Structure 1
Amino acid sequence: MDIIEYQQNITVQYCFPDINSSCKKEVRSGPGNALLFIFLSCISVCTVLLNLLVIISISHFKQLHTPTNLLILSLAAADLLVGTFVIPVNIVQLRDSCWYLGKMACYAIPVISYFSMAASLYSMVLIAVDRYIAVSDPLHYSARVSFYKTVLLIIPAWSFCFFYTVTFLYFNDHFLPSQISNRCYGECILVIKKSMIIVDLILFFLAPCSAILVLYSVIFFVARRQARAVTIVRKGNVSRKRGAKVANSSENKAAKTLGVVIFVYLACYIPFYISSLSVENVTTSSIVWTVFGWLVYMNSSLNPVIYAIFYPWFRTSVKFVLTCRIFEFSSSMLNLFSGHV
């Protein structure tokens, strides 16, 4: 659909016809827009359902109660917030440009959006640290990293993300109640200054992402070195060597899988930050936010898809959940790894 045809499919109405100060409503009609909204709605539903399956699986099955899976649950919880609150609200606003949820929700949704994104990134930092310890020091991993220690890390991590989000939006002048864009009734546009985008880029994107990339570089270097060591060893106890191969293969596979998660995250977020630096201010109604912001939201639906592709235990647990076998007695003790390395 070209620009002229797109503009012809926009009809001007009013968000609240009975209120004189109502904003104009730009309804995007036509088959192209209808297909777009159906696609985005499917993304929202899939994001919620897939991340719920991750959360239910890890929470229900005792076999999945490991530090690494607990961090994956933290990541899924953050993605669930995006699919439950952020994506549906943006779909409605994209459809007719109106805000129907009131002034309080206009302040709350940006907080939820930034908080969930921060929690996702912080969860990935913890996952990278967890994998680094597991691969570089496997003999002492269980002593250094336990389930309860991981819980005690996740709680302050989420608290820090919430504090960061509130601080970031508070110091952004346009988020203050007296300066948020509400020129007419039914408008909710958040304007983020370029200076705050730069601060956010440095403190909560470049720094943690650099740490993640450095950790994963070390992980793959160590994993390759261990693989060579296992190949070279030809003497000694055969069963012990076979066990070392299995353990090494399992850890390396987990590191590679979570490495794919990191790569997808960067691929979704980098275009948004690069494009946002090219404008003076970013608003929730700008083309930068509309196009690249949705790419950021879609990252929340891609993570569980990656688990489904690479993790046999996730596919098995999904079958148990969808067939309602989790309601059977002692279903939490089912073996999800039979036949898999």
Structure 2
Amino acid sequence: MSDHWSPAAVEQLCYENVTGSCVKTPYSPGPRVLLYGVFVLGAVLAVLGNLLVMISILHFKQLHSPTNFLIASLACADFLVGVTVMPFSMVRSVESCWYFGRSFCTFHTCCDVAFCYSSLFHLCCISIDRYIAVTDPLVYPTKFTVSVSGMCVSISWILPLVYSGAVFYTGAYDDGLEELSSAVNCVGGCQTVVNQNWVLIDFLSFFIPTLVMVILYSNIFLVARQQAKKIESTGGKTQSSSDSYKSRVAKRERKAAKTLGVTVVAFTISWLPYSIDSLIDAFMGFITPAYIYEICCWGAYYNSAVNPLIYALFYPWFRKAIKVIVSGQVFQDSSASMNLFSDQR
């Protein structure tokens, strides 16, 4: 990293008149403004983009489906990352100091872990939903109902919240590393030092659901390919109305699976560097430079801003919903029943 991007060499303290204050290593003015711009953009996209997703799905009756309720809940988790995590992490990353108190540091860390794992669990549930929809599209509505979707949403919120609260409010995460944790968390610091056992659990909690998603989506695309070939082979033949209906349903479900598959790939790419770095760091004596750690963190945070952009790119109904919301038509009594699809199939 060049001197232009490296923190300033003159030693400063986060709190000049406080004993035990952390050393402050702020960036020079140019990179500092640029970093704030990049981080603010990420936070704004995460908040506004996911808010639009939630409003769209909850307001328009045509979008009320088990899958979309999962997507709305996923957007809620990403929205909360943008509200409770990214703004404060932005100040910590650029200023190299934590100005929000030790109690809020613990709360912030809990929110960080809980909401990010909630996103992962939501995506895992969505991949199961898409697998059933593509492999058995006609029976799917009876298998994945609103109540099943609600159960998935509950699990995707309760487990991460209980896990993060139990780990960080009991202090179990730094057992055996108390001296290092005390040294790192000087006055003005908010760095979480996690021991090897919990890092390994965290990695497996990320790796296993991700592996499940990769396997399911691999099977989804294999089935989709077989269905496409079957439709092509019968293209010149007269299809019965039931076969034609089945083909249309299968095509629609494959398209939805493709879009959500892109979302899973984006999540994996965003979070894999952070997960691998955390695992290596814990077993190699915490050797990762601070700027590398921050890059990995913000790569993961930015995933919360990416999902709405994916929906806007692949879902015409979402683009139409945004126009209705932004133009104010959403306040009209009839807007909830508006047709957001170009065709009715």
Alignment TM-score, normalising by the size of structure 2: 0.89
Would you say the 8 A contact 1:133–1:141 is kept in 2?
A: yes
Gaps in structure 2 of 5+ consecutive residues: none
User: 1:338 Cα shift?
Assistant: 2.6
Distance 1:166 1:31 in 2: 38
Would you say the 8 A contact 2:185–2:191 is kept in 1?
A: no
Amino acid at match of 1:294: W
Distance 2:32 2:154 in 1: 41
Q: CA 1:311/1:283 → structure 2, altered by over 3 Å: closer, same or farther?
A: farther
The residue that corresponds to 1:222 in the other structure is: 223
User: 1:158 Cα shift?
Assistant: 1.1
Distance 2:302 2:30 in 1: 22
2:92 paired with 1:88 = no
Distance 1:320 1:177 in 2: 54
Q: CA 1:68/1:332 → structure 2, altered by over 3 Å: closer, same or farther?
A: same
Would you say the 8 A contact 1:193–1:282 is kept in 2?
A: no
Please give the per-residue CA displacement for 1:266-314, whole angstroms capped at 9, x wherever unaligned. Answer: 1112222223333335599834421111111111111111111001111
2:327 paired with 1:326 = no
Distance 1:108 1:334 in 2: 41
Please give the per-residue CA displacement for 1:92-115, whole angstroms capped at 9, x wherever unaligned. Answer: 012212211112101101100010
Q: CA 1:41/1:322 → structure 2, altered by over 3 Å: closer, same or farther?
A: same
Distance 1:301 1:339 in 2: 29
Would you say the 8 A contact 1:10–1:29 is kept in 2?
A: no
Would you say the 8 A contact 1:135–1:219 is kept in 2?
A: yes
User: 1:167 Cα shift?
Assistant: 3.8
Q: CA 1:281/1:161 → structure 2, altered by over 3 Å: closer, same or farther?
A: farther
More moved, 154-163 vs 179-188: 179-188
Q: 2:340 aligns with which of 327, 332, 336?
A: 336
Alignment TM-score, normalising by the size of structure 1: 0.90
| 1:52-131 map, 5 Å | 52-131=51-130
The residue that corresponds to 1:28 in the other structure is: 27
Distance 2:107 2:339 in 1: 42
Q: CA 1:6/1:222 → structure 2, altered by over 3 Å: closer, same or farther?
A: closer
Please give the per-residue CA displacement for 1:180-220, whole angstroms capped at 9, x wherever unaligned. Answer: 55654222221122332222112x12211111111111111
Would you say the 8 A contact 1:190–1:283 is kept in 2?
A: no
The residue that corresponds to 1:165 in the other structure is: 164
Q: Secondary structure at the match of 2:194?
A: strand
User: 1:43 Cα shift?
Assistant: 1.1
More moved, 180-189 vs 39-48: 180-189
User: 1:10 Cα shift?
Assistant: 5.1
Gaps in structure 1 of 5+ consecutive residues: none
| 1:304-315 map, 5 Å | 304-315=308-319
The residue that corresponds to 1:292 in the other structure is: 296
| 1:1-20 map, 5 Å | 2-7=1-6, 9=8, 11-20=10-19
| RMSD of aligned alpha carbons | 2.5
Distance 1:310 1:191 in 2: 40
User: 1:36 Cα shift?
Assistant: 1.9
Q: Secondary structure at the match of 2:78?
A: helix
Distance 1:283 1:329 in 2: 59
The residue that corresponds to 2:206 in the other structure is: 205
Please give the per-residue CA displacement for 1:113-167, whole angstroms capped at 9, x wherever unaligned. Answer: 0101110110011001100111111121111111232112211331112122234
Please give the per-residue CA displacement for 1:310-340, whole angstroms capped at 9, x wherever unaligned. Answer: 0111101011111111111121111100348
More moved, 279-288 vs 212-221: 279-288
Q: CA 1:181/1:313 → structure 2, altered by over 3 Å: closer, same or farther?
A: farther
Distance 1:45 1:282 in 2: 32
Amino acid at match of 1:223: A
Amino acid at match of 1:210: L
Amino acid at match of 1:265: F
Amino acid at match of 2:73: S
User: 1:21 Cα shift?
Assistant: 4.3
More moved, 17-26 vs 49-58: 17-26
Q: CA 1:148/1:97 → structure 2, altered by over 3 Å: closer, same or farther?
A: same
Q: Percent identity between the aligned chains? A: 35
Q: CA 1:181/1:20 → structure 2, altered by over 3 Å: closer, same or farther?
A: closer
The residue that corresponds to 1:263 in the other structure is: 265
